[in-house]
Amino acid sequence: MSTAVTPPVLQPIVDEPVPQPVRWGDAELARLTTMVRQPSLFYWNGPQTTALLADFRQHYPLKYLFPCSSGTASLHIAVGALRLRPGEEVIVSPITDMGSVIGILYQQGVPVFVDLDPRTYNMDAGAVRRAITPKTRAIMAVHLAGNPCDMTAFLAIAREHNLAVIEDCAQSWGARHQGTPVGLMGDFGCYSFNDFKHIACGDGGMVGTNLDRYGNGLSKWGDKCYDRVAGTRDPEELAPNYRMSEPQSAVCVAQLGKLEDIVTRRNRAGSLLTSLLQNLPGVLPPVTRVGDFHSYWFYFMRLELTQLKCTRADFVAELKAQGVAANAGYIPMPVFRYKVFQNHNFFGGAWPIRDFGLTTMDYTKVRCPVAEAILEDGITMPLNQAMSDSYIEKVARAIRSVAARLAR
């Protein structure tokens, strides 16, 4: 007979599953029910799209808007409307989604990756400034994880060098820089309604601008360069079909009605967690600039491994044992390290603008040490509007107990 003693089962500090919000319901159903009775599901003058544009402007008063098929599409439309010329450069973050750079590359532009601020994980203004060349055309401000970029600095740099600013707000619905919602400060605001975002319709996006020089024609950039206003068809430029259709618009209208509540709750949960993780050896919570409003698409903190007697993997394993839904890292590597960049394999194994001497960019030589470090010691955790203060307090207690045990 075995004499082994079964160790007592310890209750994890977070003793409940990750709260999950109900994301779609009666409001979406009501809109969709009305929609299926329409004679057409086409976006142009469609009732759902018309309602979406009106409601969107309540949150983001942009003069020109085009509802489109994805955040990627919104950014591609912005770059197209800017009339980026082959070989022109757009400064962008190396910690982002491919969607930020796909449009730049398709327009034969050059994404120029610059390093990040170690605590906000957004582009460092000094690094942006140093990356400017005579070919620089735009700065793409990616507001990562819901934390606004230092738009005051970026706008000053842009003014000084006559650059456009494209705001990638895919992860930052409801975020504000010094009181102004993201997407309203640059030349273009670009948003994503993909399934994972604060508000979602499966896949969708929105691009907007207040500037007549880009806005007149913005819609053409996502609609084959057809002129819906004049009803004419004689495209003067090459443009894709990135239209949204009525079913997505119907869901988006209902989702926008929930935006403020979702963002308020996420900000409360994220801010509480950040405040509870202050002054904890080995743990660096994210930093939001004073006067900015973080809408916490997810929670992204870093470890100070010199203060800990363990690896990040050990720390995450301990967090998981305590019931925290923690993940080691975010994207696996900076975007410029992806194979497509390392091999310059953008168009069937070739990169025409480099072959024709319009750029000398070599992505194998790009270095962004802060971005690399963030991805090596960062920990991401889900954060959502269903998380109560007491749930967040448990998560904080679990992190504090793991850090206390593993501190040097």
Ligand X SMILES: Cc1ncc(COP(=O)(O)O)c(C=O)c1O
Q: Which residues bind ligand X (CB under 6 A)?
A: 70-72, 96-97, 99-100, 142, 168, 170-171, 192, 194, 205
Query: What are the φ and ψ backbone dihedral angles of 92, each rounded to 5 degrees?
Result: -150, 160
Residue 197 or residue 312: which is nearer to ligand X going by CB?
Answer: 197
Query: What are the φ and ψ backbone dihedral angles of 363, each rounded to 5 degrees?
Result: -70, -15
CB of 88 to ligand X, least distance (A): 20
Residue 236 DSSP label: S
CB of 4 to ligand X, least distance (A): 49
Which one, of 194, 257, 248, lies nearest residue 67 by Cα? 248
Residue 293 or residue 297: which is nearer to ligand X going by CB?
Answer: 297
Residue 205 or residue 208: which is nearer to ligand X going by CB?
Answer: 205
Residue 96 or residue 274: which is nearer to ligand X going by CB?
Answer: 96
Which residues contact residue 133 at a Cβ distance below 8 angstroms, ignoring those fewer than 6 apart?
89
CB of 99 to ligand X, least distance (A): 3
Residue 171 or residue 322: which is nearer to ligand X going by CB?
Answer: 171
Residue 101 or residue 163: which is nearer to ligand X going by CB?
Answer: 101
Residue 252, number of CB atoms within 10 A of its CB: 29
CB of 147 to ligand X, least distance (A): 12
CB of 206 to ligand X, least distance (A): 10
299 has which bridge partners? Answer: 381
Burial class (CB in 10 A: 0-12, 13-18, 19+), 315: buried
CB of 186 to ligand X, least distance (A): 14
Element (H, E) at 220: helix 218-221
CB of 196 to ligand X, least distance (A): 7
Query: Tokens 């779609």 belong to which residue?
Result: 24
Beta strands in 130-187 (DSSP E): 136-142, 164-168, 176-177, 180-181
3-state DSSP assignment of residue 391: helix
Query: Tokens 């942009």 belong to which residue?
Result: 62
Residue 29 amino acid letter: L
Residue 14 or residue 170: which is nearer to ligand X going by CB?
Answer: 170
Q: For the chain, give the number of residues.
A: 408
